Amino acid sequence: MKKTRDITVNGNEYVWLVKEVFFPEHKLNVWVKGKKGKPYIEMVTDHLDIITPKNVAETIELANTMIEPDHEGYKTVMLSWDRENQKAVKMEK
């Protein structure tokens, strides 16, 4: 069983979870607390060491500039990790 963690960013509550996809690739999922049906954020990285509470908070702040987290019918924000600049970025299609 994987453990979720709670985090509060700018007064809003979220839940996050990291799971291994296929080593070394991991996926960070973030949900708005109370809306765990569809992730608010998905971020794929092959650098597990970068997934810290501080980086999760910064990733949520970035996603909040792209889409409102409490908007009904929102699309999941897809992000990737920019190792060089040490931050989450919008995933290129």
For every residue of 34-71, DSSP letters joined together read T--SS-SEEEEES-GGG--HHHHHHHHHHHHHHS-TT-
Q: Is the pLDDT reported for residue 7 higher than 80?
A: yes
Residue 1: the pLDDT is 38
- Report the chain's mean pLDDT, rounded to a whole number: 82
Give pLDDT tens digits for 53-70.
999 999 899 888 887 665
